[in-house]
Amino acid sequence: MLKLEVVPLINSDGEVNLTIAQVNDTVVGTQRIEPNDIPIIGTEQLVTSVNVPDGQTVVLGGLISEEKKKDTEGLPLISRIPGLGRLFKDDTDSKVRRELIIFIQPQVVTDDGTLRAASRSEDFRTSVGGDAAREFPDYIDTNVPPATPAAEGKKPVGVLSRWFNRTPRTAPRPLVR
């Protein structure tokens, strides 16, 4: 499982200082504790800080994983005979390599106009957001209060927790012009 947490700070020059924490947990094996197999988890983590001008893109790479596999297929029983079994089985070695690349593009929002422009631009960047923007062109949501996990007795999980803990509304609010 990959976890990514980004903390942005805007300096006086309009640049964004991003503190980025990446944690990659993978199962590297198992240990038998009767009656269960317990996974052994390998953790890779990285914390870095970078200054990015407004609207520029940072590329994070280096999260590479490789998986090696050895499969044997053959005729039951006959393929297990020493020497002769090689004629009746097929050994296959495979290696899968994955690399995760993350693109982050911070955008400084200073007023309601730039907020709407940034929101609309982001809506059209994805198919779901584009569909919603085409379906409801006269509505924009700028007044959604952030979630208050402390009020509900919950602890915030991370930077993105305020986005996923919003309470749904019944109808969109009209765009104030």
The string of pLDDT tens digits covering residues 7-46 is 999 998 889 999 998 888 888 888 988 899 899 998 888 8
Residue 118 in tokens: 């940034």
Write the DSSP symbol of residue 107. -
- Please check whether residue 44 is in contact with residue 64, taking contact to mean a CB–CB distance below 8 angstroms: no
CA distance 79 to 13: 71
Q: Looking at residue 8, what is its pLDDT?
A: 93
Q: What is the pTM of this model?
A: 0.53
Mean pLDDT of the chain: 76
Cα atoms found within 13 Å of the Cα of residue 85, Cβ hemisphere only: 12
- Checking if the pLDDT of 160 tops 80, the result is no
Query: Other C-beta atoms within 10 Å of 157: how many?
Result: 13
Phi/psi of residue 19, nearest 5 degrees? -100, 120
Quick: pLDDT tens for 95-120. 988 887 888 889 888 888 888 888 87
**How large a percentage of the chain has pLDDT more than 90?**
12
Q: How far apart are CA 97 and CA 95, in angstroms?
A: 7
